[in-house]
Amino acid sequence: MPGQNIIAPETVSKLLCSSFKEDKTRSTLLMREMLKVFVQEAALRSLKQAESEDCSQIEIEHFEKVLPQLLLDF
C-alpha cells in the first residue's frame, strides 16, 4: 500500500498565495484611494463648515452638519 501524502489545507492555500505575482492588486489599491478620499472629504468639509462659522477649532458639530451630504455622495 503506497503511503498517502495528505497535504494540510493551510499549506495548499499558502502555496496558492505565494504564486500571486502582484502583492497589491489593482482593486485593493483603488479601495485604498476610495478610503483616502473619503477621509479627506470628511475632514475638508468639516473644516469648511468650521470656517464658515468663524470657529478656530473644528468641533464635532461641524462634522455632524456635513455628514449627511458626505454619506449621500459616497
Partner 1 sequence: MQELCIFLFLKFHYQKAQNKHTRLKAAVHYTVGRLCQKIGEEHRREFSRQTIAAIAETTFRECDIFAKDLEAFARHAKRSTVSAEDVKLLARRSSALSNHIQNKSEELAQEQRDSRKKSTVKRKSRDTEEESRE
Interface positions with partner 1 (CB under 8 A): 22, 26-27, 29-31, 33-40, 42-44, 46-47, 50-51, 56-60, 62-64, 67, 71-74
| Closest distance to partner 1 from the beta carbon of 23 (Å) | 12
CB of 73 to partner 1, least distance (A): 4
Smallest separation (angstroms) from partner 1 to the CB of 69: 10
Nearer residue to partner 1 within complex by CB, 14 or 36: 36
Provide φ and ψ at 65, rounded to 5°: -70, -30
Of 12 and 71, which CB lies nearer to partner 1 in the complex structure? 71
At residue 21, φ and ψ (nearest 5 deg) are -75, -40
Distance, in Å, from the CA atom of 52 to the CA atom of 66, rounded to the nearest integer, reads 12
Give the contacts of 62 (CB within 8 A, at least 6 positions apart).
Answer: 46, 47, 49, 50, 53, 55
